[in-house]
Amino acid sequence: MSTAKKRSARQPSPVAGTYEGDYGILELEPDPDHTDGWLISVNGVPSSHIVLGEPRTLAFEYMQWIAVGLRAHVDAHLDPSRLRVTHLGGGACTLARYVADVYPESRNTVVELDGELARLSREWFDIPRSPRVKIRVDDARDVAADVTESSRDVVIRDAFAGAVTPENLTTVEFFRDCHRGLAPGGVYLANCGDHADLAGAKAELAGMAEVWEHLAVIADPPMLKGRRYGNIILAGSDVPLLEAGTPAHAAATRELLGGAVPAQYRDDAWVRQFFSGAKPRREG
């Protein structure tokens, strides 16, 4: 039986078009490069990509980089049988679908501000049901502020207003709240969209350095050299992240370099030199 026929028995198929979201226009269009692939844009900005029946297909390069960093950290420090993950900013739950498939016993909470986007995503796409993937319509900053201490193993921030991360999700106070919510060995991963000067990433890393003992970044070389706008993945933990010379580091490096957009992993020493002199953002 085809994927489409299997889906028809259990949920509506996605319908291309534009929809009124709670915070703007949602556009759903088929991806000509993937059978059963769909691109979701919010106010004209690509937000999520889903391939029905293939939760491990991540079309956005930055999501592939987050996945590499996440798996390496889980392998080294966390118990995959009891993984608790909070996704601050969910879109169509692409990363939550991925994590739930790679770690079937994980519990993912997706925090999405736009309730209509959350509703349509649940209706259209093969997102695992709660408790594997729970969608919470709420403000990411409020959720971070109220998180129970040591209740999460992974926090992934991938929240945008247009093409920019809301500033209140980039402050020292926000990082402290995320840190409080992480259990020992936990990791914070963030997608930072930044311009060529990388001022935003440097400010975030300066703030993260006040909270976490170990930092790292992942991005493609042109981005790391400040040549264009793009995505840079920021990581923070109180336990060592990927250490040079280890098999895990070698494996992650190979995977990052082998992607459609080759990326590089930069360790704590490089990161601290990179953001040297930058001022962290603070609330108030």
Output the domain CATH number for residue 87.
Answer: 3.40.50.150
Residue 106 confidence (pLDDT) above 60: yes
In a domain, 41, yes or no: no
Asked whether residue 202 is assigned to any structural domain, the reply reads yes
pLDDT above 90 for 5: no
| pLDDT score of 6 more than 60 | no
Tell me the pLDDT band of 93, cut-offs 50, 70 and 90.
very high
Range of the domain at 131: 55-274
CB count, 10 Å around CB of 51?
22
SS3 200: helix
pLDDT of residue 12: 77
Which tens digit of pLDDT belongs to each residue from 155-165? 999 998 877 89
Note whether residue 5 is domain-resident: no
List, in order, residues 6 or more apart from 279 with CB less than 8 Å away: 203, 206
The predicted pLDDT at position 1 comes to 37
Number of domains observed in the structure of the chain: 1
Going along the chain, which residue ranges are E strands? 17-21, 24-30, 37-42, 45-51, 84-88, 107-112, 133-137, 152-157, 182-194, 214-219, 230-237, 264-266
In a domain? residue 218: yes
* pLDDT greater than 60 at residue 143: yes
Is 247 a domain residue? yes
pLDDT one-digit tens code per residue, 32-49: 999 999 999 999 999 999
Residue with tokens 């921030």: 157
Residue 210: name the closest of 181, 178, 183, 186 by CA: 178
Instruction: Establish if 3 belongs to a structural domain.
Output: no
Per-residue pLDDT tens digits for 195-233:
999 999 999 999 999 999 999 999 999 999 888 889 999
Rounded distance, CA 35 to CA 40, Å? 15
